[in-house]
Structure 1
C-alpha cells in the first residue's frame, strides 16, 4: 500500500514555539519521573492521597514509565510513539484525579493541559504529523482559493 502525504512546512517561529512547548513538557515530565524514583515523603504522601498506598515499587514503576515515555517523545524518530504513550499515561492521571474528586481546573485537567502541550508542540515541529491532520489541510486549501 502506498501512502502519499504532502508535507506542509512550518514557519521558523512555529517550529521554535513547538520546540519550546515540547522542551517544557520534557523538562517537567523528566523531573516528575525522577522524583518518583526517590522515596521522598512528599511523593509517598501524594501517592497515598491518590489512593495508591505507599508502595515504593509502584512509585518507582510509575517514575520509570514516565521517564521512558518522555525520552521516546524527546527523540525525533520516536516522538509520535512517545506522544501516544504519554497521552495514555496522562489519561490515567486524569482518571485518578476524577476518582478522588480533585479540584477540576487545577488538578484534574492538568493532564489535559499537558497533553495539549505534548501534541501541540509536536504538531508545530513535525511536518509529517501536520500532514496527517485533516483540519490543517482544509485550512491550507481555503487560503489558496
Structure 2
C-alpha cells in the first residue's frame, strides 16, 4: 500500500514538472509577466522548461529518481528564493514549489526502501 501511495504521489510530481516544462517550451509567452516581475529575461523561459523536463524525467526513472529529487529540490528551491528576492514572502508560487518538493521526497520515501533506510521516520 505504501509503495502505491508513493507511486501516485510521484506521478503527480512528474505531472507537475512536465506541465511546467510544456509551458516553458511551448507556451513561453504566457510567462512573460511573471518573468518580468522576477527580473529574469523572458528568453530564458525555454531553458527553464528544459530544466523542468530533465528533473521530471530523472525523477520518473527509478534508477535516477534520487538525483531527480535532488535536482527538483534545487530547481524549485531557486524559484522559492527568487520570490523571496522580489519580496513575495509566502506567495502562492512559493507554497506550490514547497509542496511539490515535499511531495517529491515523500513519494520517493514511500516507494523506495533505500530512501526509507536513509531517513528512518516512523510512518
Q: Same fold (TM over 0.5)?
A: yes
1:42 matched residue in structure 2 = 30
Distance in 2 of aligned mates of 1:80 and 1:37 = 25
Aligned length: 123
The partner residue of 1:107 within 93, 97, 102 is 93
On the 8 A contact 2:24/2:48 being kept in 1, the answer is yes
- Deviation, structure 1 residue 34: 1.1
Distance in 1 of aligned mates of 2:92 and 2:25 = 24
Q: 1:73 to 1:106 in 2, by over 3 A?
A: same
2:7 matched residue in structure 1 = 19
- Deviation, structure 1 residue 23: 0.5
The runs of 5 or more residues in structure 1 that have no matched partner are: 1-12, 141-145
TM-score (norm 2): 0.91
Q: 1:34 to 1:96 in 2, by over 3 A?
A: same
- Please say if 1:132 is aligned against 2:111: no
CA RMSD of aligned residues (A): 1.7
The runs of 5 or more residues in structure 2 that have no matched partner are: none
